[in-house]
Amino acid sequence: MASDMQRLVGTSEDDEEGMEMDVKEEDDDEEEEEEEEEEEENRGEHRNASGIAEIDGGNGIASIDGDNRFQQYQHFQDQVGTPGGGTRRCRPLEEKERTKLRERRRRAITARILAGLRRHGNYNLRVRADINDVIAALAREAGWVVLPDGTTFPSRSQGQKLAGGNSTVVTSSSSHVLPQQTPSASLGGVASGYRSSVEYNACQMKGVFMPAPSPYDLSTSSRSQTSMVGDGEEPRDHDPLIGGSMHNVEAKQIVNMAARLPERDMAGTPYVPVYVMLPLGVINMKCELVDPDGLLKQLNVLKSVNVDGVMVDCWWGIVEAHAPQEYYWNGYRRLFQMVRELKFKLQVVMSFHECGGNFGDDVCVPLPHWVAEIGRSNPDIFFTDRAGRHNPECLSWGIDKERVLRGRTALEVYFDFMRSFRVEFDDYFAEGFISTIEVGLGPCGELRYPSCPVKHGWRYPGIGEFQCYDQYMSKSIRKAAEARGHSIWARGPDNAGTYNSQPQETGFFCDGGDYDGFYGRFFLSWYSQVLVDHGNRVLSLAKLAFEGSQVSAKLSGIYWWYKTASHAAELTAGYYNPCNRDGYAAIMAMLKRNKVSLNIACADLHTLNQHDVFTEAYADPEGLVWQVLNAGWDVGLPVAGENALPCLDRVSYNKVLDNAKPINDPDGRHFSSFTYLRLSPLLMEQQNFIEFERFVKRMHGEAVLDLQV
pLDDT tens digits along 438-453: 999 999 999 999 999 9
* Residue tagged active-site, from 45, 642, 685, 691: 642
pLDDT for residue 99: 85
- Ranges of beta strands (E only) in 396-510 are 434-439
pLDDT for residue 347: 98
Q: Residues with Cβ < 8 Å from 665, sequence gap 6 or more? A: none
**Run of H or E residues at 229:** strand 227-229
Degrees to nearest 5, angle at CA 44 with 41 and 46: 115
C-alpha closest to that of 566 among 505, 503, 524, 618: 503
Distance (Å, rounded) from C-alpha 320 to C-alpha 327? 5
- Give the pairing of strands 168-170 and 160-161: antiparallel
C-alpha closest to that of 574 among 525, 540, 539, 620: 525
pLDDT for residue 214: 32
Is 35 noted as a catalytic residue in this protein? Answer: no
Degrees to nearest 5, angle at CA 302 with 301 and 305: 95
Distance (Å, rounded) from C-alpha 215 to C-alpha 156? 4
Question: Are 186 and 238 contacting, i.e. CB atoms less than 8 angstroms apart?
Answer: no
- pTM of the predicted protein model: 0.67
**Run of H or E residues at 492:** none
Measured in degrees and rounded to the nearest 5, phi and psi for residue 618 equal 45, 50
* Long-range pairs for 484-487: beta carbons < 8 A, 24 or more residues apart: 484/522, 486/519, 486/522
Neighbours of 697 (CB within 10 A): 18
Neighbours of 592 (CB within 10 A): 15
227: which strand partners? 170
* Residue tagged active-site, from 354, 446, 465, 570: 446
How many residues make up the chain in this entry? 709
Rounded to the nearest 10°, the torsion over CA 130, 155, 152, 185 is -150
Distance (Å, rounded) from C-alpha 617 to C-alpha 564? 9
- Burial group, residue 25, by CB count within 10 angstroms (0-12, 13-18, 19+): exposed
Four-residue CA torsion sign, 531, 537, 538, 539: positive
Measured in degrees and rounded to the nearest 5, phi and psi for residue 2 equal -60, -40
Question: Are 496 and 490 contacting, i.e. CB atoms less than 8 angstroms apart?
Answer: no
Measured in degrees and rounded to the nearest 5, phi and psi for residue 310 equal -130, 160
pLDDT for residue 170: 31
pLDDT for residue 12: 43
383: which strand partners? 391
C-alpha closest to that of 639 among 596, 691, 683, 701: 596
Distance (Å, rounded) from C-alpha 567 to C-alpha 518? 18
Residue 10 CA: distances (Å) to CA of 113, 125, 337? 15, 9, 46
Question: Are 276 and 302 contacting, i.e. CB atoms less than 8 angstroms apart?
Answer: yes
pLDDT for residue 19: 46
pLDDT for residue 158: 35
DSSP state of 413: H
pLDDT for residue 622: 93
Measured in degrees and rounded to the nearest 5, phi and psi for residue 298 equal -65, -40
Question: Are 498 and 555 contacting, i.e. CB atoms less than 8 angstroms apart?
Answer: no
Angle between helices 518-545 and 471-484 (to 10 degrees): 120
The ranges of the chain with pLDDT < 50 are 1-27, 30, 41, 44-88, 156-259
Can you say how many angstroms the Cα of residue 674 is from the centroid of all Cα atoms in its chain?
20
Is 446 noted as a catalytic residue in this protein? Answer: yes
pLDDT for residue 221: 35
390: which strand partners? 384
Three-state DSSP class for residue 323: coil
DSSP state of 283: B
Neighbours of 133 (CB within 10 A): 18
Measured in degrees and rounded to the nearest 5, phi and psi for residue 451 equal -80, -15
Tell me which amino acid residue 439 is.
Answer: V
C-alpha closest to that of 385 among 441, 460, 483, 457: 457
Distance (Å, rounded) from C-alpha 586 to C-alpha 582? 8
